[in-house]
């Protein structure tokens, strides 16, 4: 795995090498065209983000063309909610509007049908009237040849008639399929007379009831690439064994020269503590383990967006990891460090108290309110300052007080002096408790001489804590998140990723106290709450924040540990 300080150059990877060679040889008349072909049966996840960035960046780098193509060949699982969602998420990720209208495999249904008839006429395809289970049993296995279908030797005329009847709706779902006639003992299982068309009496969101037969991925994909004049068909490694079939179909259709795309595979993106299979993500949504596809714990682009991940950070991450030819798993902490580094520069600082405890300053002049000047972003000189009201009645974090402090606990405790961020030094003089002995109010004195954050006599304090003036605070809520999967590699032990779901991965805090300037924040802002992490304000509730990421750079710790071991 790479560390963030690796100088992985996006220029030097095997795909760029291929493209450069093609440009030099004039293979595609100097054209470069890529596409991102999602099936609209779910929302995009961070694995798709990698595929998008790879394809999009190539088109940019070589002044080529990039298209979004919906691979909409299965009306049973696809719908317009996903179509619209994919478009929105893709533009969000790229941070720009797409220059070209999205394309659809369904636009090519007519052409694909004509080509299928050509294959039948050439004796390269046949209608099989067996059921699906029988067909898959007959495929055989590794080092076990398949069995020919009893319908394999049907004549051209019969096949053509049957195929036309399939198309006209004479048969019901599953009664027959169109298969390519290649070989049932081919080493590559994908070449054992693969299915080209299935019957599905379903309404398609674009073609309505025009069709009751739908092309398979393998039959549709390469041909769609060719129709669109894609040059480099880039996909993830699991399609490796489909490449031979991709080429076989193009051979049969005599698509050659500059018109002929070719497929190249790159490694899938995987993360620790994460699943990136649409099937599993769908399951989490349907079983209500999460609050939807946009739940901030989900690795979906809309989950990340709701959590406050900047699209720019995801793009930088994808560029950093580059493309490889072998699958690997990246630590989720690496992605989080890109998010943190981005926000560190971009996010304004605010003060917020998540679990409030009241502090009364007993020697503060009755009714007096002061404003303190706070720095908006120490990483950004242009971000300026703001005024924060300070009074004799403040909230601090419950965790920042301990009645009987443990060793190395330097924050507030009886008799102890600490600094208030942008405020004064205060010393705890007394604790007021409820009947269960829980502290409910802390009495303190302040030292008016420490207004500048330092004591004139040079005495030191060991801790600085944040605060919000009680009478000026605005109320809000915060959702805190932990990893959705406790295990680094979900399902590693039981084989079932869902066994490792962390059902307690979300904590909702109400009655959070926020500094008043937060009421001016526009929805969508991500800010740093001092000492607590980065938080995203969204419309989930009135003044509702999702915790984006904590402040601690866990990735740096991983790198350090690795270097020392």
Whether 49 and 316 have beta carbons less than 8 Å apart is answered as: no
Taking CB under 6 A as the rule, does residue 48 contact ligand ATP?
Answer: yes
Q: Which residue lies nearer to ligand ATP by CB, 334 or 426?
A: 334
Q: Give the count of residues interacting with ligand ATP (CB under 6 A).
A: 15
Q: Which residue lies nearer to ligand ATP by CB, 108 or 467?
A: 108
Pick the piece of the chain touching ligand ATP (CB under 6 A) from 88-96, 112-120, 271-279, 479-487: 271-279
**Min. distance of Cβ 549 from ligand ATP in angstroms?**
21
Q: Which residue lies nearer to ligand ATP by CB, 37 or 75?
A: 37
> 511-544 burial string, b = 16+ CB within 10 Å, else e?
ebbbbebbeebeeebbbbbbebbbbbbbeeeeeb
**Min. distance of Cβ 244 from ligand ATP in angstroms?**
17
Taking CB under 6 A as the rule, does residue 235 contact ligand ATP?
Answer: yes
Q: Which residue lies nearer to ligand ATP by CB, 100 or 279?
A: 279
Taking CB under 6 A as the rule, does residue 68 contact ligand ATP?
Answer: no
**Min. distance of Cβ 168 from ligand ATP in angstroms?**
30
Pick the piece of the chain touching ligand ATP (CB under 6 A) from 97-105, 139-147, 274-282, 357-365: 274-282
Whether 8 and 2 have beta carbons less than 8 Å apart is answered as: yes
Residue number of the CB closest to ligand ATP reads 47
278 noted as active-site residue:
yes
Q: Which residue lies nearer to ligand ATP by CB, 220 or 412?
A: 220
Whether 533 and 548 have beta carbons less than 8 Å apart is answered as: yes
Whether 165 and 149 have beta carbons less than 8 Å apart is answered as: no
60 noted as active-site residue:
no
Q: Which residue lies nearer to ligand ATP by CB, 268 or 421?
A: 268
**Min. distance of Cβ 9 from ligand ATP in angstroms?**
20
**Which of 505, 496, 508 minimizes the C-alpha distance to 544?**
508
Q: Tokens 């560190």 belong to which residue?
A: 344
Contact pattern from residue 276 through residue 295 relative to ligand ATP, giving x for each residue in contact according to CB under 6 A and a dash for the rest: xxxx----------------
Pick the piece of the chain touching ligand ATP (CB under 6 A) from 48-56, 114-122, 409-417, 487-495: 48-56
**Min. distance of Cβ 307 from ligand ATP in angstroms?**
19
**Min. distance of Cβ 283 from ligand ATP in angstroms?**
12
Binding residue (CB under 6 A) for ligand ATP from 30, 236, 391, 525 = 236
**Min. distance of Cβ 206 from ligand ATP in angstroms?**
16
CA-based max dimension of the chain: 103
Whether 338 and 316 have beta carbons less than 8 Å apart is answered as: yes
**Min. distance of Cβ 276 from ligand ATP in angstroms?**
5
From CA 482, how far away is CA 549, in angstroms rounded?
Answer: 10
CA 399 from centre of chain:
33
Q: Which residue lies nearer to ligand ATP by CB, 78 or 417?
A: 78
**Min. distance of Cβ 364 from ligand ATP in angstroms?**
57
20 CB neighbour count, 10 Å cutoff: 12
From CA 306, how far away is CA 536, in angstroms rounded?
Answer: 7
Contacts of 7 (CB under 8 A, 6+ apart): none
Provide the Cα torsion 426, 472, 526, 537; round to 10°: 140
Q: Which residue lies nearer to ligand ATP by CB, 181 or 278?
A: 278
39 noted as active-site residue:
yes
Q: Which residue lies nearer to ligand ATP by CB, 269 or 484?
A: 269
Taking CB under 6 A as the rule, does residue 466 contact ligand ATP?
Answer: no
Taking CB under 6 A as the rule, does residue 51 contact ligand ATP?
Answer: yes
Taking CB under 6 A as the rule, does residue 418 contact ligand ATP?
Answer: no
Strand partners, 376: none
From CA 51, how far away is CA 31, in angstroms rounded?
Answer: 20
Catalytic residue among 278, 297, 411, 547: 278
Whether 151 and 158 have beta carbons less than 8 Å apart is answered as: no
> What Å distances lie between residue 142 and 139, 185, 186, 187, 272, CA to CA?
10, 10, 10, 8, 31
Binding residue (CB under 6 A) for ligand ATP from 33, 34, 37, 426 = 37
> 284-297 burial string, b = 16+ CB within 10 Å, else e?
bbeeebbbebbbbb
Catalytic residue among 2, 10, 39, 379: 39
Helix (H, G, I), strand (E, B) or coil at 252: helix
The one-character DSSP state at 405 is P
Taking CB under 6 A as the rule, does residue 47 contact ligand ATP?
Answer: yes
Catalytic residue among 10, 164, 268, 282: 268
Contacts of 468 (CB under 8 A, 6+ apart): 351, 352, 353, 356, 394, 395, 513, 514, 515
Strand partners, 242: none
| Residues annotated as catalytic (active site), given as ranges | 39, 268, 278
Interface residue list for ligand ATP (CB under 6 A): 37-39, 47-48, 50-51, 235-236, 268-269, 276-279
């Amino acid at each position: 795995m790479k560390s963030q300080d690796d100088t992985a150059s996006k220029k030097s990877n095997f795909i760029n090498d291929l493209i450069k060679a093609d440009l030099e040889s004039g293979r595609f008349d100097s054209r470069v065209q890529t596409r991102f072909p999602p099936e609209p049966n779910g929302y995009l996840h961070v694995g798709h983000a990698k595929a998008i960035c790879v394809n999009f960046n190539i088109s940019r780098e070589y002044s080529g063309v990039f298209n979004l193509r919906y691979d909409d060949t299965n009306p049973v699982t696809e719908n317009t909610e996903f179509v619209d969602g994919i478009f929105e998420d893709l533009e969000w990720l790229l941070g720009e509007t797409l220059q070209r209208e999205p394309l659809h495999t369904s636009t090519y249904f007519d052409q694909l049908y004509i080509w299928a008839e050509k294959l039948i006429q050439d004796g390269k395809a046949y209608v099989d009237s067996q059921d699906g289970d029988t067909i898959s049993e007959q495929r055989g296995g590794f080092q076990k040849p398949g069995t020919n279908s009893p319908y394999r030797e049907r004549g051209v005329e019969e096949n053509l008639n049957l195929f036309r009847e399939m198309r006209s709706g004479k048969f019901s779902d599953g009664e027959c399929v169109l298969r390519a006639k290649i070989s049932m003992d081919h080493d590559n299982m994908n070449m054992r007379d693969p299915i080209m068309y299935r019957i599905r009496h379903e309404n398609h969101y674009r073609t309505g009831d025009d069709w009751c037969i739908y092309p398979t991925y393998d039959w549709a994909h390469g041909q769609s690439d060719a129709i669109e004049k894609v040059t480099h068909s880039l996909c993830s490694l699991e399609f490796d064994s489909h490449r031979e079939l991709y080429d076989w179909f193009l051979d049969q259709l005599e698509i050659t020269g500059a018109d002929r795309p070719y497929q190249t595979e790159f490694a899938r993106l995987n993360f620790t503590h994460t699943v990136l299979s649409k099937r599993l993500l769908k399951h989490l949504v349907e079983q209500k383990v999460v609050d939807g596809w946009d739940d901030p714990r989900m690795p979906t682009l809309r989950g990340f967006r709701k959590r406050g991940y900047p699209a720019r950070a995801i793009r930088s991450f994808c560029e950093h990891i580059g493309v490889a030819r072998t699958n690997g798993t990246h630590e989720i902490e690496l992605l989080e460090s890109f998010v943190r580094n981005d926000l560190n520069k971009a996010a304004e600082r605010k003060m917020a108290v998540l679990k409030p405890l009241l502090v009364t300053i007993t020697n503060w002049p009755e009714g007096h309110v002061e404003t303190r000047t706070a720095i908006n972003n120490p990483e950004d000189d242009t971000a300026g300052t703001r005024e924060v009201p300070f009074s004799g009645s403040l909230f601090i974090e419950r965790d920042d007080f301990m009645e009987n402090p443990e060793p190395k606990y330097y924050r507030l405790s009886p008799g102890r002096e600490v600094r208030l961020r942008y405020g004064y030094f205060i010393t705890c003089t007394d604790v007021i408790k409820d009947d269960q002995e829980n502290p409910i109010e802390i009495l303190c004195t302040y030292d008016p001489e420490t207004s500048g954050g330092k004591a004139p006599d040079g005495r030191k304090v060991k801790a600085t804590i944040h605060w919000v003036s009680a009478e000026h605070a605005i109320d809000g809520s915060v959702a805190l998140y932990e990893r959705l999967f406790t295990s680094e590699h979900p399902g590693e032990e039981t084989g079932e990723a869902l066994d490792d779901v962390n059902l307690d991965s979300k904590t909702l805090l109400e009655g959070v106290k926020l500094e008043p300037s937060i009421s001016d924040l526009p929805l969508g802002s991500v800010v740093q709450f001092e000492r607590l992490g980065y938080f995203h304000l969204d419309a989930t509730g009135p003044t509702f924040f999702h915790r984006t990421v904590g402040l601690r750079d866990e990735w740096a710790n991983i790198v350090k540990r690795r270097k020392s071991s």
